[in-house]
Chain A
Amino acid sequence: MSTMSVPASALAPTNGFARCVGIYLREARYEFLRLFRTRSFSLSVIGFPVVFYLFFGLIMNRGQNIENVSVAKYMLAGYAVFGMVGAALFGIGVGLASELSAGWLELKRASPMPPAAYLLAKCTSAIAFGILIVSILTLMGVTMGHVSLTVTEYVRMIGLTVVGVIPFACMGMALALLVPFSSAPGIANMIYMPMSFCGGLWIPIMMLPKFLQQFALLLPTYHLAQLMLSIFGYASAGTASNHWFGLLGFTLLMLGIASIAFRRHEQNS
């Protein structure tokens, strides 16, 4: 047996790269499948933004324009962010918490799976759901809300989705490591809903009380929403670089918390 393993490891570099790519792709595919088949996840994470946008963006403000701003288009940015944040927070936060509690993550860590493949699979699946949600909302806006959108605007929305999911993916990771699985969905909701409201995803930020507008500066949802609005030329305050810094700071903070929580978790297991 030991003589057999020598030529095997010598052969590895030749197909090592392809094998490695294969691991990453398979991991991502099965993670997406897992999320998609988990109805409690896929239905609520797509359903909530769709229903919210339908009621508050399309039905209540039918064809309204305020100071040359299409309400339906303005709300599209907010609910797009709302949708992708949900995908990241629940897909990663709750998914990771359940795999931690089931011991599945431990089994995977004991295998030769590269840890990065696991994290990347979680992240890309959240991004895929984010893109799906943003596309559905855009389609609704265009077909039902007379929203006019250029292809460039749509492409920039998707681009922002890919990047914008990352801070919330990190937040989900920190959440999963800090909170036991049984309370993870509840706590995720307790963060998700207020953070969405206060970040101006449901009601335009300038309509919120002054102190909430100041508080919003601390929220990643606010910064991401402003970046999304700026694609349509609707940004209300702050420069793009301010918002990018806000998101970067939040991401680093969450990564820090997650790494401390992971070390603590490792010591106790």
Chain B
Amino acid sequence: MSAVLQFTETSHPQSANDSSATVAALTGLTKRYGNGILALDNLSLSLHRGEIVALLGPNGAGKSTAVKLLMGLSSPTAGVVSIFGADPRQASARLRTGVMLQVGRAPDVLRVCEQIELFRGYYRNPMPYADLVKAASLEGIEKRMFGELSGGQKQRVLFALALAGDPDLIFLDEPTVGLDVESRRLMWTQIRSLAARGKTVLLTTHYLEEADALAHRIVVINKGRIVCAGTPAEVKSMGASVPGAATNRSLRILRCVTALPVATLLNLRGVTQASLEGDQTTLTSTQPESTLREMLALDQTLHSLEVQSPALEDAFLALTADLA
């Protein structure tokens, strides 16, 4: 219901001004660092008004690099970055964006209220101070020095700084790292309400649950390339379809303790992946029934068997494992 509402809401300014539909775009972006590491490899991505996009990927996938390029903090080796149709380094683009970086640590000896005042001052139409404190749930710690705060509190201050200018486009690089469950839910609520007000949010995350719960669109990246993109439901089904193309419905994950070596398992019908961790073997199969029959016939000692449908996490792992 709310998604439908949002769609009609966003379609109005779209017709009035067609450039407002795409808020930010990365086109054919490649970034190679001075030390030769290829962080992004011909990546294209566009963000639309009012949507929450989650950039999902393992460590070193290029998520933070993508955010830095979108913020104009580093320059691409090839490709174009456009924020509100302009270069991200232009003041006009910066006035409309807010960012929370993964390593952003504020000076320890400034008070929370001072940091917020400083950042609000950079913008023409900042968010009212009281609203910011409420949005980031900083009530009661406004007079504290940044250095005295807990990890979660620091994270919330940085969230407030990202929202200080009441920006239309917000980048959140791993926003809920170090937050307890309650604070994480609170931040999720805030992020959802931003999108409901027509703001665009790009967040990077490790937490699959977070991407699933928050995002309208998930973009899975690995080794600097997009592995797949779509709604959380689509990504899940794509993950399921990765190995066996058309037979995605029947994909199952089998966990068991077996004496059969991985090499043998990979030769069984339907098996697309197999791995051994400790004494537990995990395999994915597109024909789970026949795989199981063969396994049970080959190994009489097989035990602790579990059969699961792939969840988002498994889809994600399958997608980022050896593709790209």
Contact = CB atoms under 8 A, between A and B. Distances in A.
B101 A103 contact: yes
A3 B109 contact: no
A2, A11, A27, most chain B CB atoms within 10 A:
A2
B7 interface: no
Given A9-B124, A112-B94, A112-B95, A1 B13 contact: yes
B74 A269 contact: yes
A33 B114 contact: yes
B71 interface: yes
Interface in A78-107: 99, 102-104, 106-107
B122 to A, nearest CB: 5
Nearest to B14: A2
Interface in B88-120: 91-92, 94-97, 99, 101-107, 109-110, 114, 117-119
Contact of B104 (A38, A104, A113): A104
Interface string B55-93: 000000000000010011111000000000000000110
A264 B73 contact: no
Nearest to A117: B122
Contact of A8 (B72, B125, B145): B125
Interface string B183-199: 00000000000000111
Interface in A1-60: 1-3, 5, 8-9, 11-12, 19, 22-23, 26-27, 30, 33-34, 37-38
Nearest to A38: B109
B109 A268 contact: no
A9 B117 CA distance: 21
B71 A33 contact: no
A104 B105 contact: yes
Contacts of A264: 34
B168 interface: yes
Contacts of B261: none
B198 A268 contact: no
Given A27-B118, A104-B105, A110 B99 contact: yes
Contact of B103 (A3, A34, A103, A112): A103
B13 A22 contact: no
B154 to A, nearest CB: 11
B34 A106 contact: no
Nearest to B108: A38
Contacts of B300: none
A200 to B, nearest CB: 35
Given A5-B96, A37-B109, 20 more contacts: A1-B168, A1-B199, A8-B124, A8-B125, A23-B121, A33-B109, A34-B110, A37-B145, A103-B102, A103-B103, A103-B104, A104-B106, A106-B73, A107-B106, A107-B161, A110-B94, A112-B94, A266-B75, A267-B74, A267-B75
17 contacts: A2-B20, A8-B125, A19-B124, A26-B121, A33-B110, A33-B114, A37-B145, A102-B104, A104-B104, A106-B103, A107-B106, A110-B101, A111-B94, A111-B165, A112-B95, A113-B122, A269-B74
The 7 closest A-B pairs by CB, nearest first: A103-B103, A37-B109, A102-B105, A112-B94, A107-B104, A110-B71, A268-B34
Interface of B: 13, 16-17, 20, 33-35, 68, 71-75, 91-92, 94-97, 99, 101-107, 109-110, 114, 117-119, 121-125, 145, 158, 161, 165, 168, 197-199
Interface of A: 1-3, 5, 8-9, 11-12, 19, 22-23, 26-27, 30, 33-34, 37-38, 99, 102-104, 106-107, 109-113, 264, 266-269
